[in-house]
Amino acid sequence: MDCARYLEEMLSAHADGELRGRAERDADRHLVECGACQARLAEERELKRLIRMKHSMMRAPGDLRMRLRAALGELIEAEEAAEHPQAQRLARWRSPAAALPRIPLWCGAAAAAAIMVILVAMHLPRGASIPATPQTPVFTEAVARFDVASRKFQPNALAEGPVSGNADYAWVMERDDGGAAIDEAEDLARAYRDAGVPEAVYDFGAAGYGLDGGRIEQSDDGRPVSYTLYGGERGDILSICRHLAGFSAPVGARYWSGSHTFYEYQGHSICVTFHPAQHFVSIMVSREPVKELLADVVSADAAT
């Protein structure tokens, strides 16, 4: 399946959860290999969620929607164009938005975030504020995990050999060569892939965070869950990646950037990212202000 067929025939139904059987399997297989379509699916789901939440609002002008999608697509296209020729076809298919002037990657990310903030303001009645995020059990559990990991975190994803008990533990080893951070991230991403978890390992170096390590556990239903901890002078970022079929991002989002949605919740900042293949969701938790987490994630997307 190519991008044009997925976007024209399956995207809308996939976003609504209406695909079944072979069609759903074909769509999921395509998304595993195509980051551009993953981003489009995440965007489509978020747009539909906003429409349902604000059903009486006016639809954004077509030109604004095209510019928004073009800005969001900058992050994906820069990485996918060289490896996936279909990404180039997608850029042409998206005409006339694709005809807009190309801008640097970081500018595209910043523009996307800025436009989404503008859209949120447009959707709210005059004088109204963004609704508070309601109690969300998935978020509450993620915050509790973050608070524990900030005090004590034992990586086990990069197993060097067995220790006593039934688990294999290992620490992220310090290395002297200049490529240590890259090597550790690649090794951890490979370990996640082998365990059946999306390779959601970010480079937060530009934001002042280093990779502390990764941990793999099993949830109650037997599926793998990954925990990746990043540490820096400003504190920690914990990224949790787990299978959450049927989970929908709650109301109260402060910002959007690409496939990421940002919240303020119980004194923490949260970034939610959907991985359509196999219904995994990544939830990043930090104590830094949500605008700073947004900037850190955008810079990590550009570097990863």
pLDDT tens-digit map of 186-244: 889 889 988 998 888 999 998 999 999 999 999 888 899 999 999 998 899 999 999 99
How deeply is 206 buried, as exposed, middle or buried, from its count of CB atoms within 10 A (0-12, 13-18, 19+)? middle
Output the CATH code of domain 137-303. Answer: 3.30.200.100
272, 252 contact by CB (below 8 A): no
**Pairwise pLDDT comparison (173 vs 255), residue with the higher score:** 255
Residue 275 in this model has a pLDDT that exceeds 60: yes
Is pTM, for the whole model, over 0.75? Answer: no
**Sequence spans of domains, the chain:** 3-123, 137-303
Angstrom CA distances, 282 to 39, 156, 185, stand at: 14, 19, 17
Share of the chain above pLDDT 70, in %: 65
**Pairwise pLDDT comparison (241 vs 182), residue with the higher score:** 241
Residue 84 in this model has a pLDDT that exceeds 90: no
